[in-house]
A and B are shown apart, each in its own frame.
Chain A
Amino acid sequence: MENLNLHDAAPRPLSSMQNQMPPGPPPVPQLPPQMFTTAAQLLDLTDKKLMVSLRDGRKLIGVLRSWDQFGNLVLQSTVERLFVQHLYADIERGLFLVRGENVLLLGEIDLDKDDYVPEPYELAPVERVFALKKAEDAERGRVEKRRQRTLAGYGFEGEHAGEAIL
């Protein structure tokens, strides 16, 4: 896909269509359309180590092995990384099939900076981070619920009501 450029001509629009339309501005040079599909974008990420951020706030790190046009993903050798306060921990998860709608973002990990976690975050035992995370999520849930209730009292409906985006 990377080898395509402006010199690979984009297909011309049908001339019969052109006659019906009012004369428009001069055509802007277009890159080949096959570069602009979901498949082309994900193809470059296949077999790479990715950080996948999910709608429920989870961060998965694994190797992308397969995908489809909906963004459904298969991840191999996945670990889930928990961040809480200034601590983090990894949990081995294995093979994942993620339904596309739950994906926020896929990040290709720079292998030169692999597993780099900036200061002041430090590695801690899973049990400790997990317990802290659970408490933090519960607290966040309470705050969010109260906020939604107050807003609803004023007739507002949340931007993503009923859907946790973290």
Chain B
Amino acid sequence: MLFFSFFKTLVNHEVTVELKNDISIRGTLKSVDQYLNIKLDDITVVDELKYPHLSSVKNVFIRGSVVRYVHLPAAAVDTPLLEDATRREASQASAKAKQG
């Protein structure tokens, strides 16, 4: 759930999504869901001529399972906060494991 929440904080930022079939799509992150399916607006495709089927497309819904990387704007990421959240989630998970 952490990365789902994390991506929610990046809504309306420019990101580049690299897919497992090597297509890179840059656009404004509009939405993300629990599977990390991603919706991008106003897209531009890196190396567009190689992928002519995307040239008349303005916004895309990308299935989470086909994403290889998401390139993020460094300025929009609060790294200490993310580290903190990771530790909190890990400690919660281990506390739960001890209880159960």
Contact = CB atoms under 8 A, between A and B. Distances in A.
B48 A118 contact: yes
B20 A81 contact: no
Interface string A85-128: 00010000000000011011111111001111110010000000
A21 interface: yes
A104 B53 contact: no
B87 to A, nearest CB: 10
A126 to B, nearest CB: 17
A21 B57 CA distance: 45
B45 to A, nearest CB: 10
B31 A35 contact: yes
Q: A36, A38, A59, A83 — which one has the most chain B CB atoms within 10 A of its CB? A: A36
Contacts of B85: 24-25
Interface stretch (A136-144, A145-153, A158-166): A158-166
B8 interface: yes
A105 B48 contact: no
A113 B19 contact: no
Q: How large is the interface on A (under 10, 10 to 19, 20 to 34, 35 or more residues)?
A: 35 or more
B9 interface: yes
B56 A114 contact: yes
A31 B61 contact: no
Given A21-B92, A104-B19, A59 B60 contact: no
Contacts of A9: none
A40 interface: yes
B54 A121 contact: no
Contact of B66 (A25, A36, A105, A109): A105
Interface in B18-74: 19-21, 31-35, 37, 39, 43, 48-49, 52-63, 65-66
A37 interface: yes
A18 to B, nearest CB: 12
23 contacts: A22-B91, A25-B81, A25-B84, A36-B8, A38-B37, A41-B37, A71-B37, A83-B53, A104-B21, A104-B63, A104-B66, A107-B54, A107-B58, A107-B59, A107-B60, A107-B61, A108-B57, A108-B58, A109-B58, A113-B56, A116-B56, A117-B56, A160-B20
